[in-house]
Amino acid sequence: MTLTQPVGPSRRTVLRAGAALSGLALSGAAGARIASAPPGGIFLHGVASGDPTSRSVMLWTRVTPVPEAVPGSGAGPDSTIHWEIATDPGFAARIASGTASTGAWRDHTVLVDAGGLAPSTTYYYRFLGARGEASPTGATRTTPAPGTLVDRLRLGVVSCANWEAGTFSAYRHLASRGDLDAIVHLGDYLYENGQGEYGGKNGSVRLHQPPHEIVSLADYRQRHGQYKTDPDLQNLHATVPVIAIWDDHESANDAWRGGAENHDPSEGSWSDRYEAALQAYLEWMPIRPGGAGRTLYRRISFGSLAELSMLDLRSYRDRPAATGSDGRAIDDPARTIAGAEQLDWLIRGTTTSTAQWQLIGNPVMIAPIVLPPLEPATTEALTSMLGIPRGGIAFNGDQWDGYTSDRAALFTALDSAPARNAVFLTGDIHSSWASELPRNAARYPGAGTVGVEYVVPSVTSKNIDDILRVPPRTVSPAIENALRATNQHVRFVELDSHGYGVLEVTTDHAQMDWWFITDPADPGARARHAHSLRTTAGSGQLGPAAPLPPRPERR
């Protein structure tokens, strides 16, 4: 989701001209003389790990075997890369190793499912080239074994990192903590816009490559490669495993299964663009997909304490309603945000799991934000006559508010679960929120709740004060007060700050700490604790909490 639409009347002209120039450049690179390895080494995009289990973890890197083999070029010879994993950073105690082949056919990326590991263990890993070139060393950690009693889990939670809107200081602060078991990335890991189309409060802090809006497989590969050169992103990936899901900007703004707001026929077919975006994502991210390697939704277990279900809410959804007041579309039971198969997978998993907590990586908000909340049992005649949604006019139809049938089915299932221990972790909206999830928003709190939702701010992408180009906390407090007054299940909202979240889960509670950075345009930005809320096991309610205390670094 983009909170303000990109501007620039010549965008399509720039796209076509940029694509033509890019094509010429790539043609020249593909036919160029094969040279020696780049002087800066062959592992220019760092290392990463992700999707840990109790016995394995995905390991990732990218090789640049010759200078011409830049991301998206299609140039360069195939390579055989050696990998190894150890319990010490000096690799004296190697416990697993192997080789992997790569080449231009997968943009020279390497993805290894390293198995044979022990549960709840910190490991170190690296890659070696054919001539002994060594990658940076990464650290990762396996999860507890199934059924194991676990007393504590800490996750960093992030979303919406736009290269042009700033630098990635939030990642730097998360990497420096030393107490996180994993990072949950909720989408908009990168942005598809061309240069100058969607920057920060005062314009673009740094410029995208390629310069045009990305459309082709080569474009998406190049953009992934650019983001992976950011030092703070590289350091985060090398420090802790990342569990990621995409939202819309990994393909195009407000994407749905048949198109996107930021796509038109001059850019070719949507299916071709979607497949290009998906292929590049699978090449460049350290994830373990399912469904013949093409399904992004999946589940990670942390012993008996928690399960984390990561949702893909772009690949299967129907087109968003034209407006938030279009009741015929919003309440249509045939329309879906998750798709029937994924929704069934989510409901079965969250209602039959024996884990104490159900964490749901949820790219777009699920808490109802409607103006105002209405009671269908008493207002249905009026809403039917006016053609507005039965529960009230949706604040944002791109969220679950635009697909009320799917949400109702999920909430009904969660309501029947043995405990109110569903915690939705959400990004997308470039702001911070916490809500109790009401069975009926118009009758909150009397009707009860089915869980809670924590929404983290953007790493850099524009929020309210950026869009309005006003100092922080000048306009937003009045908006926040109005939102809370109308939707009383919203317990916290802050519309101006950038940063990240830290979630702690214990047998007793699930607590979110919000951390805000001072300025996304400043590469040395500081971080401050801003707010804390927790839900007690079985309550489905939110209450105040003290900031999480430091925890000794994992060993």
Pull the structure tokens for residue 458.
């953007």
d(CA 470, CA 467): 8
The answer to whether the peptide bond before residue 520 is cis (omega within 30 degrees of 0) is: no
The pLDDT, as a whole number, for residue 36 is 58
The pLDDT, as a whole number, for residue 3 is 62
| H helix intervals, 285-403 | 327-330, 340-352, 376-386
The pLDDT, as a whole number, for residue 381 is 62
d(CA 47, CA 31): 29
The pLDDT, as a whole number, for residue 14 is 31
Closest by Cα among 138, 192, 226, 228 to 15: 192
The pLDDT, as a whole number, for residue 384 is 67
For 144, the 3-state DSSP assignment is: coil
CB burial of residue 553 (10 Å; 0-12, 13-18, 19+) = exposed
d(CA 7, CA 280): 26
Amino acid at site 37: A
Q: 414 near 353, Cβ under 8 Å?
A: no
Cβ atoms within 10 Å of 352's Cβ, excluding its own: 8
The pLDDT, as a whole number, for residue 158 is 98
Query: What is the separation of C-alpha 359 from the centre of its chain, rounded to a whole number of angstroms?
Result: 14
Cβ atoms within 10 Å of 296's Cβ, excluding its own: 22
CA quadruple 174, 179, 181, 186: dihedral, nearest 10: -30
The pLDDT, as a whole number, for residue 15 is 32
d(CA 62, CA 59): 11
The pLDDT, as a whole number, for residue 334 is 97
Of the CA atoms within 13 Å of residue 292, those in its CB half-sphere come to 0
The conformation of residue 177, written as its DSSP 8-state character, comes to T
d(CA 212, CA 224): 14
Whether the pTM exceeds 0.85: the reply is yes
The pLDDT, as a whole number, for residue 255 is 98
Which positions ≥6 away from 427 have C-beta within 8 Å? 157, 158, 159, 160, 186, 187, 188, 247, 363, 455, 456, 458
Q: 490 near 484, Cβ under 8 Å?
A: yes
Helix (H) or strand (E) holding 406: helix 404-415
Number of H helices, E strands in the chain: 11, 23
Closest by Cα among 62, 368, 105 to 229: 62
The pLDDT, as a whole number, for residue 12 is 35
The domains found in the chain, sorted by start residue, are: 47-141 (2.60.40.380), 152-544 (3.60.21.70)
DSSP 41-52: -S-TT-EEEE--
Q: 532: which strand partners?
A: 513
For 78, the 3-state DSSP assignment is: coil
Closest by Cα among 243, 214, 251, 362 to 301: 243
Place of tokens 């879906």: 336
Which residues of the chain carry a pLDDT beneath 70? 3-36, 39-40, 378-379, 381-386, 553-555
| H helix intervals, 461-526 | 464-468, 476-486
For 359, the 3-state DSSP assignment is: strand
